[in-house]
Chain A
Amino acid sequence: MTTTTQKWKNYISHEPHSMEEKMAASSSSTASNANIPEYEYIDVNTKPFHIGSFRNLWLERLKPCHYSYQEEDEEAFEADFAKEMGISMEIMGELKAICSIDSLSCHPADETPDPEVVPPDSTLKTLLQRKKRQDYKNNLKINRSGRHDFYADELDRLTVGRKPEEANDMIPEGEVILTINIYYPAIYDRFNYVRPHMTLMMTGSHSLADLRDAICCVSDLQVCGEFSSTPDMAPDFISKDHYKSAFFFFEGVFYNDMRFPECQDISMTTIEWAKSRNFPSYRQGKMEDVLLADLEVKVGFPYLYCHQGDCEHLVIITDVRLSHKNDCLDRKLYPLLTHKHRVITRKCSVCHVYIGRWLTTNDQFAPSNPCLFCDKCFRMLHYDVQGNKLGEFLAYPFVDPGAFN
């Protein structure tokens, strides 16, 4: 009896232990599953996951042939398939014929319909809608299909399926590719419904500093200072060279740019402000040390990029996936710009032809305050032949946001 009770006691005392082990095992298995992206809000954004682990999870599940860039041999595939399913080559040939693309063609063999024209007699709802839309567009007196539509995928077209010249520059098979949207700072009302942004494709081996360098924003190009008396002396130094500090904010961590001695930790202000107001504490990191594959982020969730002190861009990772043979495979071309919004440029108020280069205030010649001028009109209006300043005004060099178009 005593031995059995002893056993019982042993068992009881062991029980929690084994339970604990079980719990640990189950929690570790959920931890690995946590990197399978799940929606936090359906069709809006996912829960945070680690990008490197996400890639590994895919690679564990796939066979190398699924993501390799090599074309596979059709005949070998057929032979394998027939063998695996235990069917003869005759049946295989039959199967191939049934599933061929010819079985899907919707028009008689002697006709070739024009794929550019919406068929008038279709019953598909999509086509009815498209027909209606095209009829409306053709009705318009002014053809407003602008350059925006025309050039929409221009950048994409240039690089798609590009192979590198040297084999070393090939993006390795199974590399993870991120598509990142960087939105323009929302300073205009009209930005509320169009969301002008640029789209960058980057690989997991890029650091955040690479991302920072790939973002182009006019506030990096501005020249500070008033040069009305010496317009020729306007310096070439742009803000980018003066103020190099910047940070990204992802999932409660500020990643500061600390590559140069003059860089400051500009996230400190925010962190201290948050600390004094009982916000959850934020951490800091260095952007040059963090690879995109190390990040733990939500896909589809807006994050922040801040530079020049207060130029704030939203950053949204719209897509994370494995590389594909149709992608641009030249590593040198990454970070790859695939979309850029074209901003309307503001023209000189005299000639309405050239893009504004100078901005004047308190200008007695100008119709408005402030006012924009191109270089030529500015000089003709404000200076005499010898280059002497006429009248009172303040002049600042100006870089138009459309300068990148």
Chain B
Amino acid sequence: MQFCREKVKADCEELLGRFQQTDSVRFESFSAVWRSMKFSQVFYGTLGAEKKAFSREVLDTACSFFLPPFTFQIRVGGLYLLYSLYLSQSATPPQQIRLALKDWEHVKQFEHDAVEAQHLDTVYVLRQLLLHKAFHFTATPRLLSYQKKRKARRLPDCEAFVERPTRPQQLVSGDLLEELSNVQQHYERLKASICAAPDQPDPSLTLTRGDLVPRLQDAVLEFHRGQRLEAAPREDDDDESGGEGTSAQLECSRRAELLASIKSKSYGQAVEVSKSRRHRQVELGLASDSETAAASSSHRTHRMSLKARTNKNVQITGELKQETVKQTKLWCLTKLDSAPEDVPRKFPKFKW
């Protein structure tokens, strides 16, 4: 089922892209998109053993949208997609959704978020899947049989679905702040204990800021606020796909300045560029990398196969050639007299 992986992924992305445009996480809007695309038909026309393999493929593909790094809305869409695919698949018994151990945390967190936000339908759908025992609790998201390719072709994730960078938030979590304030307290106490007069700390020992923790928290919150502010206009200019060029560039640099100012305020350090700009640069770099790689690989001498080399080097002419072209069937001792002469058959090859 390797051959249809790309197409299945494209279809899922199309569906989720439309779902994203509805700006909602309701199941109604999802099912409306599903119906408008007639997505149930994706299972039509699979025959026999193919049913099972196709169900497996489509569920595996859909499952990847249910997990990070996608935004909450896409993950909800991914969950609905899994639910709908699971219920409408044609394989009997139904194929299960593979959930890897390392992803369970994400699912739990997702459920928690959905409960917190009172997304009843999301929680309901997830619980329904669990109720119907729709999950296989596995080690890996896909079956692995060491299918190594010389050129690994990995389908890129759809960028519009990915969560905006949240590294600072991840780095400065609640736990970290608590830990930090503990350390700070400990440190202050220690300083106090080694000073002669406990009430008047030695001014030469005040090396750190006392308000480090609240300041750090403020900085991150401010960053998050800034990020959200700029996220809104960005989505707008993503929609109008025509004039993305210069306006996006401007937008980008404006954002960069904003962020840089925030950061310089909070960390007292100069910061190179904004996250999003850096992201774009990386992308550019990758593209040029792959271009050069392609160019260099074309220079590499391609070694011909043994068959091709034999054909090239060994030249047979005349009658002998006729005989060598014919398949030699030495082991055929007997043959029916009425058997027709073997004519080499030609099979049309299928082009994907």
B291-341 at interface with A (beta carbon < 8 Å): 330-334
**B87 touching A101, Cβ below 8 Å:** yes
Chain B residues whose C-beta falls within 8 Å of the C-beta of A152 in the assembled complex? 48-49
| Shortest distance from the beta carbon of A365 to any chain B beta carbon, whole Å | 9
Minimal Cβ-Cβ distance residue in B for A63? B130
Residues of B within 8 A of A45 (CB): 144, 146
Contact with A along B193-213 (1 / 0, CB 8 A): 111100000000000000000
Q: Which residues of B contact A349 (CB under 8 A)?
A: 331-333
Given contacts A37-B101, A124-B42, A160-B93, contact A104 B139 (CB under 8 A): no
A367 to B331, CA, bound (A): 6
State the interface size on chain B (CB cutoff 8 A): 81
Q: Do B334 and A58 touch (CB < 8 A)?
A: no
> By the criterion CB–CB under 8 Å, are B332 and A119 in contact?
no
| Residue on A nearest B49 in the bound complex, by CB | A152
Interface residue count for A (Cβ, 8 Å)? 93
Q: Which of B10, B90, B123, B143 contacts A115 (CB 8 A)?
A: B90
* B32: min CB distance to chain A, Å: 9
Task: Find out whether the CB atom of B333 lies under 8 angstroms from the CB atom of A299.
Answer: no
Does A301 sit at the interface, judged by CB under 8 A? yes
Contact between A81 and B124 (Cβ–Cβ < 8 Å)? Answer: yes
Q: How far is the CB of B263 from chain A (nearest CB, A)?
A: 30
* Residues A119 and B41 in contact, CB atoms below 8 Å apart: yes
Q: Which of B123, B131, B193, B350 is A133 in contact with, Cβ under 8 Å?
A: B350
| CB of A230 to closest CB in B, whole Å | 25
B340 CB to nearest A CB, Å: 15
Q: Does A279 contact B (CB under 8 A)?
A: no
Fill in one digit per residue for B136-164: 1 if any A CB lies within 8 Å of its CB, else 0.
Answer: 11111011111110000010000000000
- B101–A57 touching, CB < 8 Å: yes
CB-based contact B138/A321 at 8 Å: yes
A351 to B350 alpha-carbon distance, docked (Å)? 35
The smallest beta-carbon distance between B172 and chain A, in angstroms, is 20
Q: How far is the CA of A77 from the CA of B129 in the complex (A)?
A: 12
Chain B CB within 8 A of A276 CB? no
| B139 adjacent to A37 (CB under 8 Å) | yes
Binding-face segment, B114-122, B226-234, B275-283 = B114-122
**A117/B146 contact (C-beta < 8 A), A77-B127, A126-B7, A161-B93 known:** no
Say whether B72 faces chain A, with CB atoms less than 8 Å apart: no
Contact partners of B31 in chain A: CB under 8 A:
98, 103-104
Which residues of the partner chain A approach B333 to less than 8 Å between Cβ atoms? 349-350, 367
CB pair A300 B28 closer than 8 Å? no
Q: With the chains together, A39 CA to B332 CA distance in Å? A: 52
CB–CB A300/B43 < 8 A: no
A99-B125, A351-B334 known; A127-B140 Cβ under 8 A: no
Q: In the assembled complex, which residues on chain B have CB atoms less than 8 Å from the CB atom of A77? A: 127, 131
- Residue on B nearest A124 in the bound complex, by CB: B11
Residue of A nearest to B133 (CB): A325
**Do A129 and B7 touch (CB < 8 A)?**
yes
Q: Indicate if the CB atoms of B196 and A1 lie closer than 8 Å.
A: yes
Q: How far is the CB of A281 from chain B (nearest CB, A)?
A: 26
Interface presence of A358 (CB below 8 A)? no
A356 to B330, CA, bound (A): 15
- Are B148 and A81 in contact (CB-based, < 8 A)? no
Q: Is the CB of A66 within 8 A of B48?
A: no
Q: A223 to chain B: closest CB distance in Å?
A: 22
With contact pairs A300-B146, A326-B93, A368-B331 given, residues A85 and B194 touching in the complex (Cβ less than 8 Å): no
- Chain A contacts with B in 29-54, Cβ cutoff 8 A: 36-39, 42-46, 49, 54
B71 CB within 8 Å of chain A: no
A53-107: which have CB < 8 Å to B? 54, 57-58, 61-62, 66-67, 72, 74, 77, 81, 85, 87, 91, 95-96, 98-99, 101, 103-107
What's the least CB distance linking B57 to chain A, in Å? Answer: 10
Residues of B within 8 A of A49 (CB): 139
Contact of B102 (CB < 8 Å), options: A7, A37, A300, A324: A37
Q: Contact: A43 with B142, CB < 8 Å?
A: yes
Which chain A residues in 185-225 approach chain B with CB under 8 Å?
195
Q: Is residue B271 within 8 Å, beta carbon to beta carbon, of the partner chain?
A: no
| CB–CB A302/B118 < 8 A | no
Chain A: minimal CB distance from B41 (Å): 5
Residue pair A85, B120 in contact (C-beta under 8 Å): yes
In the complex the two chains form, is A372's CB within 8 Å of B331's CB?
Answer: yes
Q: Is A139 positioned at the interface, with any CB of B under 8 Å from its CB?
A: yes
How far is the CB of A178 from the nearest CB of chain B, in Å?
Answer: 9
Question: Are B100 and A115 touching (Cβ within 8 A)?
Answer: no
B73 interface residue per 8 A CB criterion: no
With A58-B137, A61-B104, A106-B39 known to touch, is A43 a contact of B144 (CB < 8 Å)? yes
A245 contacts B by Cβ under 8 Å: no
User: Distance (Å) between the CB of B80 and the closest chain A CB?
Assistant: 9
A334, chain B: closest CB distance, angstroms = 17
- Which one, B11, B88, B102, B140, contacts A319 given CB within 8 A? B140
- Closest Cβ–Cβ distance, residue B125 to chain A (whole Å): 6
Residue ID in chain B nearest A85 by CB atoms: B120
Given A42-B154, A129-B4, A115-B139 contact (CB < 8 Å): no
Determine whether the beta carbon of B194 is less than 8 Å from that of A54: no
* New contact pairs (7) apart from A105-B40, A115-B45, A319-B144, CB-CB < 8 Å: A37-B139, A98-B28, A103-B27, A104-B88, A106-B34, A153-B52, A320-B140
Instruction: Give 12 A-B contacts (CB < 8 Å), ordered by A residue.
Output: A4-B195, A43-B142, A43-B144, A57-B101, A66-B133, A77-B131, A103-B28, A124-B42, A139-B348, A140-B347, A316-B144, A367-B331
The 5 closest A-B pairs by CB, nearest first: A300-B144, A118-B45, A152-B49, A321-B138, A349-B331
Write the residues of chain B forming the contact surface with A, with a CB cutoff of 8 angstroms: 3-4, 7-8, 10-11, 14, 27-28, 31, 34-35, 37-50, 52, 83-84, 87-88, 90, 93-94, 96, 98, 100-102, 104, 108, 115, 118, 120-121, 123-125, 127-128, 130-131, 133, 135-140, 142-148, 154, 190, 193-196, 330-334, 347-348, 350, 352
